[in-house]
Amino acid sequence: MAQSQQSPLALVVLISGSGSNLQAIIDACASGQINADIKAVISNRADAFGLNRAEQAGIPTHVLDHTQFSDRRAFDQALSQQIDHYQPGLVVLAGFMRILTEEFVNHYLGRMLNIHPSLLPNFQGLNTHKRAIESGSNQHGVSVHFVTPELDGGPVVNRATVAIEPGDTPELLAQRVLQQEHRIYPEAIGWFAEGRLKLANDLAMLDGEPVPQLEKH
Ligand code: NHR
Ligand code: GAR
């Protein structure tokens, strides 16, 4: 089997919080669903619960507190040194809450993914569930995208839609979106690990075809 002859894709996962997406990726690696291996988990917050999840799984963890750095550039330089120590084939943002400099992003261009809780290009930025409900739309969702310097602007590689129900709250909606996140993020990482997913000329290419992008509503 070609797949099992390939060495596992080395991942470094960046988190800021609960790490439920991290857990889904840990589980997908452990079960053999994806041919990947998490080399390290890095958090900008010392109290991120995801650090416990990593420790439980025997994965090295690091905390890089952004408040200890003079500016974004200094933080990003320390972060990329930490990451590059592990020589990952893919950097995975999983609920990571710091905007990254253009210099940092370009260093990992084509080998860094993010999961963003909206149907991009709608609702870039923060508080997406509340904004989606207030928009009056009956559809919301989640997108995995290649990270580019434009915040939440890189090409989408995988997405799921989630219906907005009458009486929905941001918390209820977030829970249903998270269930989809835990399915589509390991799936996309698996594609990348198999060499099926690439960034080429600002397009996300899956099996040689551009992944369709949505219109803004
Ligand atoms: N950096 C670049 N250059 N491009 C992207 O697409 C990025 C990125 C960094 C993070 C994740 C993103 C999301 O999925 C992400 C994508 C944080 C903020 C933010 O405003 C916005 C988007 C994302 C992550 N952060 C505040 C800041 O000043 C801090 C907010 C907080 O700490 O709670 O960095 O939504
Ligand atoms: C997820 O919903 C993720 O999409 C979102 O934060 C949550 C993290 O959950 N990401 C962002 O909002 C990035 N700005 P988790 O820590 O349980 O994976």
Sheet harboring 156-163: ordered strands across?
Answer: 61-63, 36-43, 9-15, 90-93, 112-116, 139-146, 156-163
Instruction: Note whether residue 200 is domain-resident.
Output: yes
DSSP state string for 33-85: SS-EEEEEEEES-TT-THHHHHHHTT--EEE--GGGSSSHHHHHHHHHHHHHT
Chain centroid to Cα 214, Å, comes to 19
**Tokens 């998490």 sit on residue:** 38
CA distance 82 to 62: 8
116, 129, 140, 145: which is the annotated catalytic residue? 116
Q: Determine the pLDDT at residue 213.
A: 98
For ligand 2, atom 9, name the residue with the nearest CA. 95
Cα–ligand 2 centroid distance for 2 (angstroms): 34
Cα–ligand 1 centroid distance for 93 (angstroms): 10
Does residue 1 have a pLDDT over 80? no
Tell me whether residue 116 is one of the annotated catalytic residues.
yes
Residue partners of 74: CB distance under 8 A and separation at least 6: none
CATH number of the domain encompassing residue 95: 3.40.50.170
Q: What range does the domain containing 92 cover?
A: 8-116+142-158+181-206
For ligand 1, atom 4, name the residue with the nearest CA. 151
For 167-207, the pLDDT digits (tens) are 999 999 999 999 999 999 999 999 999 999 999 999 999 99
CB 145 within 8 A of CB 157: yes
Instruction: Note whether residue 20 is domain-resident.
Output: yes
Instruction: Note whether residue 170 is domain-resident.
Output: no
Nearest atom, ligand 2, residue 96 CA: 13
Task: Please indicate whether residue 114, judged by its CB atom, sits closer than 6 Å to ligand 1.
Answer: yes
For 110-158, the pLDDT digits (tens) are 999 999 999 999 999 999 999 999 999 999 999 999 999 999 999 999 9
Q: Determine the pLDDT at residue 5.
A: 64
Instruction: Note whether residue 51 is domain-resident.
Output: yes
Pocket of ligand 2 (CB under 6 A): 15, 17-21, 50, 94-95, 97, 115-117, 178, 181
Total domains, the chain: 1
Nearest atom, ligand 1, residue 153 CA: 6
**Tokens 């750095």 sit on residue:** 69
**Tokens 């890089």 sit on residue:** 64
Instruction: Note whether residue 167 is domain-resident.
Output: no
